[in-house]
Structures are given as structure tokens and as C-alpha cells.
Amino acid sequence: MIQDTNDNASNDQQLNPATHPSNSLDWLSRLIAFDTVSRHSNLALIHDVRAYCEQLGLTVDLTFNEAKTKANLFVTVPAGENADQINNGLVLSGHTDVVPVDGQDWTSEPFTATIRGDKLYGRGACDMKGFIACALTILPQAVQLSNSGQLRRPLHLALSFDEEVGCLGAPLILADLKARGITPDYCIVGEPTNMAMVVAHKGIAVYRCRVHGKSAHSSLIGQGVNAISYASKLVGYVDTLAEELSTRDDNDALFTVPYSTLSVGTIHGGTATNIVPNLCEFTFDYRNLPHMTQDDILAPIQAKVAELNAQMQARAPETGIELMQEESVPAMTDNNSAELQSLIAALTGDDERHKVAYATEGGQFTNAGIPTIICGPGSIEQAHKADEYVELIEIKRCDGFLQKLLDSCTAK
């Protein structure tokens, strides 16, 4: 149901989520109303979707984080009795968590779906509750096809937690599937791509470097070991490696940034100008092309750390550098997805393949041996911002895409 937000703004509408929505816009309204910022629990959303699935007669499996405050959901619409082949089906994958709205200047309430013109606004509208809404809308029809024996391939829905803070939930889903002997034939991750087919993305690894020096009065610098100075030496080396990565002869022109990247993001250190600093920390991230690994940069950086440690400890044995990995998400490769790509191209009528620099759970699925592509409504350029939105036509296009996908899974 759509209602005006106020008497003076007839073009500014809020969607009122109904019980058990029957269309994607109502589902999206309902999903946005759950505040699933990563620092919060997602259980209210998960239990709501579970109840919906169980009313459709489906069996729902949940996997939890250690604290039991968050859960993944995995549900299967089984192939019908008349299925002419045995396979493990197709996964529609999405994450339920969203990024915070703190400090952002929103025009409308971020956790209330609001239509203005041809766009629907709300946190998660494109990243990525829009795709989840479309997937939930298609489930009843999939169940009907299964019950009538026409569904040739199982259809799975996988909803994860904590994608936005390191893709922490999806590995638990994949471990559970492995334990149950389920290896899906394909996976479609519905991150926002404007419904274009993304066949590969870079991986990401985030590192924290902590440099422990020795304090002294700045007039007696020989008695100290300057943590900032040694941190700067390592930062300079990271920048040198970054330049070398940009000139390799095995880079991939299909990526907007066609090479692996290294980037220093934060640095903190020192207490006063007249004190030799005893601590400096900085972070950097590495975004690797699919054919490269973390060792390509980690090994030389570790060697540089060892060299600097020797210099520091020659002056003060208690000094040194710690290098810690804080996040790691694998790249998604297109090595095994040619058949899936052909299917998607046939359904969409668009044969163009794209590769992107941002990371998703797609790399975890390909690492598990499941051919995967990314395709979903909305633009990544709208994600994580104030007034996040998805164009209504994108939801319509996703509905049409999933309908064609479901038709491809039915008996001929």
C-alpha cells in the first residue's frame, strides 16, 4: 500500500509493508524496515523470512554466529518428481546486513521505504535488499512448479549476515552445504550491477601495521627509536610495490582499474612534537586481480619488515613491527562459469561481460567450486550513501530476469 508522506508532497510516498507481501516493492519495503546495520542483529528479518518460507511448505536451515545474535538462512525449493536430471540446483544469494547511516544527511527516514518519482529510497534499497525482495517474490511460483513436478532444478535462496564487515556469514553457509553433500551447479549473487552480468571481481585483504618504537625527549633523539619514521619507511615501500603492480604485463584491461592495487588508508602516531614517538599504526588494503594472491605482496612486505626490525632492534631490543591481517575476501574468478554466463546472456539478451574492483561473497562461492556470476538491481554508485535508492525500473527488470531464470528451470 502506498500513502503520501504529507499533504504537500504528493510525489513523495512511503511504502507501508503489509503482512506476507505478494510483490517485490512491498517486500522491499518490509525488508528496509528491519534495521540490519552490521553492528545489530539480523534475527528479526531472518525469522520473518523463515516464517514466510515455512508457510510455503519449505524447510529452512539457519546457521548462527558464535554469539547466536545473527543468522544465515538457506532454503531449498526441491526439484519436482518429473525432473529429468539429478543436480544440486541454482543458488540466489544475498546479504541481509547494511552499512550504517550515522553522520549521513538523509532526506527521508532511512529505514522507511520512500518513493520519490521513479526511485525507491531507503538503506539497503540497492545494496542489496532489492534483489532479496525480488527473490522472495518468485518463491511461491517456484513452489507451485515443484509441487506440479515441473521444476527440473532445485532453487535455493541463501541469505547471509555480516557481508559488509568482511563477508563473515557466507563461509558458514558453504561449510553447512558441504557437510550436507550439497554442491549447487550455479550461484547468482544479486549485488547491484544495473542488471549487467559481472563475471569476476578483485579480492581484498586489509592489514594493520603497528610500529613499536622507544620514547625519548626530542633533544635526545639518539636515546629513542622513532616509530613514525620507521612507519614512514614501510609506507614508502608499500607505495613502491603499488607502483610496480600497476606496470605488470599480466594486468586485465576488463577491470576499470586493470591492475592489483595497494593503498594506505589510515595512520596514527605520536603524542607531542618534543617527544620521540614510541607507537605508530597504519592500515593498508590490497585488492588483487583473480589470478594473483596475497603472497604476491605479503612476502616482500614481510621481508621489508624483517629488515626494518633488525635496524630498530639494533638500537633497542624491545622495539619492532607487527603486521596483522584484519580482513580477507577472495577474488571471484570466471574460470568455471562459462556455461552459466551463456545461460545469463541468453536470458538477458546481453552478451557483455564485466569485471569489477569491489569484493562480494562471490569469491567465496567460486572458491567452493560453485560457478558464480553477479547480477542484481541498482547501481553500486548509490550504495553506502545518504538517500540510497534503487530505480523502480531496476526492480521490474530484476523481476523479469528471475522469471526467465525460473522458466529455464522448468520441464520442457
pLDDT in tens, 167-225: 999 999 999 999 999 999 999 999 999 999 999 999 999 999 999 999 999 999 999 99
Domain edge (last residue) among 311, 329, 347: 329
For residues 98-123, average pLDDT? 97
pLDDT, residue 4, reads 34
Q: CA–CA distance from 304 to each of 65, 69, 230, 323, 372 (Å)?
A: 37, 41, 11, 11, 37
The verdict on whether 26 is a catalytic residue reads: no
Catalytic residue among 26, 162, 163, 164: 163
Reported confidence tier of residue 19, pLDDT bands at 50, 70, 90: low
For residues 128-143, average pLDDT? 97
**Number of other CB atoms surrounding residue 382 within 10 Å:** 18
**Is the same domain home to 116 and 207?**
no
The whole-chain average pLDDT of the chain stands at: 93
C-alpha span between 288 and 295 (Å, rounded): 10
**Is the same domain home to 228 and 319?**
yes
**Is the same domain home to 65 and 110?**
yes
C-alpha span between 202 and 260 (Å, rounded): 8
Q: What nine digits make up the cell of 292?
A: 594473483
Domain that holds residue 381: 2-201+331-408
Q: Give the chain's domain count.
A: 2
Q: Which of 282, 284, 310 is nearest to 225 (CA)?
A: 310
**Is the same domain home to 325 and 214?**
yes
Cβ 79 vs Cβ 152: under 8 Å: yes
Q: What nine digits make up the cell of 99?
A: 552499512
Kindly tell me the burial class for residue 19, based on how many C-beta atoms sit within 10 Å of its own C-beta (0-12, 13-18, 19 or more): exposed
Domain edge (last residue) among 329, 357, 392: 329
Length of the chain: 412
pLDDT, residue 14, reads 53
The verdict on whether 352 is a catalytic residue reads: no
CATH number at 264 reads 3.30.70.360
Q: Which of 370, 369, 368, 332 is nearest to 191 (CA)?
A: 332
Domain edge (last residue) among 329, 359, 388: 329
3-state secondary structure of 381: helix
**Is the same domain home to 318 and 361?**
no
The b/e string for 152-181 (b: 16+ C-beta within 10 A; e otherwise) is: bbbbbbbbbbbbbeebbbbbbbbeebeeee
Residue 40 CB partners (closer than 8 Å, separation 6+): none
pLDDT, residue 18, reads 45
**Is the same domain home to 142 and 25?**
yes
Q: Taking the chain, what is the end-to-end CA distance rounded to the nearest angstrom?
A: 37
Q: Which of 11, 36, 77, 43 is nearest to 402 (CA)?
A: 77
C-alpha span between 41 and 84 (Å, rounded): 41
Cβ 142 vs Cβ 403: under 8 Å: no
pLDDT, residue 267, reads 98
**Is the same domain home to 54 and 80?**
yes
Residue for cell digits 503482512? Answer: 19
**3, pLDDT greater than 60:** no
Q: CA 162, 398, 136: angle at the middle one, nearest 5?
A: 55
**Is the same domain home to 307 and 324?**
yes
**Is the same domain home to 186 and 231?**
no
**Is the same domain home to 322 and 342?**
no
Kindly tell me the burial class for residue 106, based on how many C-beta atoms sit within 10 Å of its own C-beta (0-12, 13-18, 19 or more): middle
**Is the same domain home to 164 and 50?**
yes
pLDDT, residue 86, reads 53
Q: What stretch of H or E contains 13?
A: strand 12-15
Q: Model confidence over 55-85: pLDDT tens digits?
A: 999 999 999 999 999 999 999 999 987 665 5
Catalytic residue among 26, 97, 127, 387: 97
pLDDT, residue 80, reads 80
Q: What stretch of H or E contains 239?
A: helix 227-246
pLDDT, residue 303, reads 98
CATH number at 376 reads 3.40.630.10
pLDDT, residue 224, reads 97
**Is the same domain home to 160 and 217?**
no
Q: Model confidence over 329-368: pLDDT tens digits?
A: 999 999 999 999 999 999 988 899 999 999 999 999 999 9
Q: Supply the pTM of this predicted model.
A: 0.89
**Number of other CB atoms surrounding residue 402 within 10 Å:** 25
